[in-house]
């Protein structure tokens, strides 16, 4: 099963990704994780990527595509993979298709988790994180027993600096602008699986599995 996972920030991609890779026994490939690993290991690609990241610039597509290609060629991807965070743009999507076709491979589905902008904002600005153990809460949907205190370890809860309405709106806007042409591209290819991300977590997962296996 070769899959791509799309969805705006706050759509719950991480939760679904964990469930999908467990069910299908495929690796979860996050470009962010790959960059961090390559930088840590001091690889040539890692050094190149670091130059851009240190300057606050986006890593060019050719470097991102090279990194993803190398990862897909690893042994644990022979039965498939779940790509998360890549592709983000139409250029990256087309480049990925080119690389896969050279390997005689193709994508099975592109899962697109849809959530309305207002819901995404409410989800994100209400998020609270424990300073000590990293547990995540939500003031409305998943509040701690005692306000501002972690149920697990008693640590203090805080709101991330970038979890403000203004920042979240900007993130969503950038995502939508970048990704709309990519979604249209995959829709024309008959690969898009649109999922309602406002349902219960288990219902979203069941819907994904049913569509993949139906």
The answer to whether 13 is a known catalytic residue is yes
The answer to whether 88 is a known catalytic residue is yes
Q: Cβ(157)–Cβ(128) under 8 Å? A: yes
DSSP bridge pairs for 157? 130
The answer to whether 36 is a known catalytic residue is no
CA atoms lying within 13 Å on the CB side of residue 103: 19
What the block records as the tokens of 132 is 């000590």
Peptide bond into 87 cis (omega under 30): yes
Q: Which of 47, 160, 177, 199 is catalytic?
A: 160
Q: Which of 13, 48, 71, 109 is catalytic?
A: 13
Q: Which of 48, 109, 123, 127 is catalytic?
A: 127
Which DSSP letter does residue 57 get? Answer: P
Q: Which of 23, 69, 117, 171 is catalytic?
A: 171
Q: Which of 88, 109, 123, 128 is catalytic?
A: 88
- CB-CB neighbours of 104 under 10 Å: 6
- Residues assigned a catalytic role: 13, 88, 127, 160, 171
């Amino acid at each position: 099963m070769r899959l791509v996972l799309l969805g705006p920030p706050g759509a719950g991609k991480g939760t679904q990704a964990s469930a999908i890779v467990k069910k299908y026994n495929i690796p979860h490939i996050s470009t962010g994780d790959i960059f961090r690993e390559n930088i840590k290991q001091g690889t040539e690609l890692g050094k190149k990527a670091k130059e851009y990241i240190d300057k606050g610039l986006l890593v060019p597509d050719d470097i991102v595509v090279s990194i993803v290609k190398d990862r897909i060629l690893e042994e644990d991807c022979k039965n498939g993979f779940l790509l998360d965070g890549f592709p983000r743009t139409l250029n990256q999507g087309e480049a990925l298709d080119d690389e896969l076709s050279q390997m005689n491979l193709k994508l099975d589905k592109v899962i697109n988790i849809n959530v309305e902008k207002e819901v995404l904002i409410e989800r994100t600005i209400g998020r609270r994180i424990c300073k000590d153990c990293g547990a995540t809460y939500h003031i409305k949907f998943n509040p701690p027993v005692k306000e501002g205190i972690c149920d697990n370890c008693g640590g203090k809860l805080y709101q991330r600096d970038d979890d403000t309405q203004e920042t979240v709106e900007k993130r969503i806007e950038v995502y939508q602008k970048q990704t709309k042409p990519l979604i249209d591209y995959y829709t024309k290819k008959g690969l898009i699986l649109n999922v309602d991300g406002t349902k219960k977590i288990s219902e979203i997962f069941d819907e994904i599995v049913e569509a993949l296996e139906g």
